[in-house]
Structure 1
């Protein structure tokens, strides 16, 4: 996968509000099962499983089978392409704000 493809996959995956909420629950847990994720979510276990599949394909989570359970955990490195892309634009906007500050000082001495 190229970096652009990675970024597109991550953004597409996290664009869904239910999937994003699920990812946040996983991030806030060391490990969590489908049953725990389904409980109180208002979403069926089948839908949770589909969301988990998308998160896994995007490289955002990993799974660890143990007996009849599968435990899910966040993979922070999966967000690296997105973080790199955003940091590029962070530099862009910081430079623009410095320029704006300079212009405003020249206008109002």
Structure 2
């Protein structure tokens, strides 16, 4: 089973001032990861970056954690995929948050979208 240094990961993500909060979700959050599991990370950007910047962030994250990373943007995710957005905030592990009010608003909106979806 792969272990990750959550503190190191959180510090790296927090150093990017465009990221307001981040979660680990999926098998690592459920402690069901196995050898070869990728690390699922969800982030909320203050301003959504272009695809090239997201790709660069993934490369940098993979260097930090020495694992394959699946990066999900939380921006508009509750609109596009309310079930996934709900799962991330309900079962995920919050790595850090620099704007508690924004996180609370995001959670509330996601819960409402999920209930509408159900």
What TM-score does the superposition give when structure 2 sets the normalisation length?
Answer: 0.28
More strand by percentage: 2
What TM-score does the superposition give when structure 1 sets the normalisation length?
Answer: 0.29
Higher relative contact order (CA 8 A, sep 6+): 2
More helix by percentage: 1
Structure of greater Rg: 1
